[in-house]
A and B are shown apart, each in its own frame.
Chain A
Amino acid sequence: MTYEMVESRVATPSRAQAAGRGIVVISDPDAELVDRWQAGDQGAFGDLVRRHERRVFSLVLRMLGNREEAEDVAQEAFLSLHRHGRRFRRQARFSTFVYRVAANAALNRRRTLGRKRAREEALARRQDAGFDLPVTPRDPESAASGSQIQARVQAALLELPPDLRMAIVLCDIEGQSYSDIADMLRIPEGTVKSRIHRARHALRERLQALVRAEADESKGVAS
């Protein structure tokens, strides 16, 4: 099976035509920019950075829980992307490659920080229930409780082991498919499923009171 990367705006062969030639067609919205970058256009790389910076920063921040570290690692991730651009083989979307580089950068930084420091930071975060996320409350009355819930969820997330945290962040926050996550992390799809399942169960345990309060609330609304 061979793969052909096509721009999303170019007419693609029908699935029947592609199947007949043994080709899987992958539509990639970044294809044109990547082509220009790899031909030497640095401006195109800048456009790719702007296009993906939000997602890279979100992933890295969820993994590290510290904004200053996340800013550093996000920059390092894009520099690494630039350094290893030739490794992008176009057998998947460019965004998958970006996530892979960002995930590696975040995991490497976690290892550098060390387990002891990570535990200390997780404890501090739990105690402070603080996390500098922009809060856009729907109404003033729910602002305080909404941000408290977010802080508890984020603190619980940061208590997960890095491999489980990465899987659940990519799946439930970044919305990636099992197969794409497997590709990004270079692990079997079965391992992805297992990590997501274990991560969700671990979070459910940590957030039990919150989860059950929400369940009671929804029963109250329904009745």
Chain B
Amino acid sequence: MNHRRIRARLSEYLDRKLPPEQRAKVDAHLVECAACCAELHELERTVDLLRRLPDPEPPPYLAQAVMARLEAGEGQPELLAQRLRRLIGPAFAVSVAAALGGVFLFTLVDIEIQVPPHRTTTGEPISGVARTSSEPEPARNPYSLARHHARRGESAEVAALLRGAGHPHSALLATHFEHDSEIALASW
């Protein structure tokens, strides 16, 4: 093996991913070649520098924030028509719908592609919301407004909005904003 081919395999050699035969050839080359050996050691130290980077701490309320947003209706599986509109644009979607006798396409909103419905706080299952294309977009939900106020440092407003949402995780987040506002705001 020549230098170029050896050097191209040094990362795999370092990670012990070379087949035994190739590894043996690289071993034999490294014994005789100081330059390739030095390059291997430098790669090793580079990887070591990366591995020594400390783990960043996630924001303290990341999980709660996610659950609160789920409770507010975000992160739900898209309905078929919504997905089509997002992917191919409303104008083209309309023309496709017309070509296929499309009133059926946009009334297929009742067909839901989703994980089985989750439950309300009382344990009752919630079914997916059927929405026709003529219904208006839903109002901005409390959680979106809360994030808007959080970015402005308005912890009292954030807490009030989260309490008003009426969900367990939102209420818990509201408590954090009431008692640890500095940390809570920093994590948003």
Whether the Cβ atoms of A211 and B42 lie closer than 8 Å is: yes
Main SS class of interface, A? helix
Q: Does A4 contact B (CB under 8 A)?
A: no
Q: Which chain B residues numbered 44 to 66 have a C-beta less than 8 Å away from chain A?
A: 45-59, 62-63, 65-66
Distance A40 CA – B89 CA, assembled complex (angstroms)? 32
When distances are taken between beta carbons in the complex, the residues of chain A under 8 Å from B49 are 149, 153, 203, 207, 210-211, 214
Known A79-B69, A215-B41; contact A173-B76, beta-carbon cutoff 8 A = no
Whether the Cβ atoms of B66 and A173 lie closer than 8 Å is: no
Query: What is the distance, in angstroms, from B63's C-beta to the closest C-beta of chain A?
Result: 5
Chain A interface residues (CB < 8 Å from chain B): 37-42, 45-46, 49-50, 53-54, 56-58, 61, 67, 71, 74-75, 78-80, 82-86, 133-136, 149-150, 153-154, 157, 168, 171-173, 178, 193, 196-197, 200-201, 203-204, 207-208, 210-212, 214-215
Report, as a range, how many residues of chain B touch the other chain. Answer: 35 or more
Interchain Cβ contacts within 8 Å, total number: 137
Whether the Cβ atoms of A79 and B63 lie closer than 8 Å is: no
Whether the Cβ atoms of A197 and B46 lie closer than 8 Å is: no
Contact of A133 among B51, B56, B69, B125 (CB under 8 A): B56
Q: Does B78 contact A (CB under 8 A)?
A: yes
Distance A35 CA – B69 CA, assembled complex (angstroms)? 22
Whether the Cβ atoms of A57 and B56 lie closer than 8 Å is: yes
9 additional A-B residue pairs with CB within 8 Å, beyond A134-B54, A204-B42: A42-B67, A57-B56, A58-B58, A71-B62, A86-B115, A193-B17, A201-B43, A210-B49, A214-B48
Whether the Cβ atoms of B62 and A74 lie closer than 8 Å is: yes
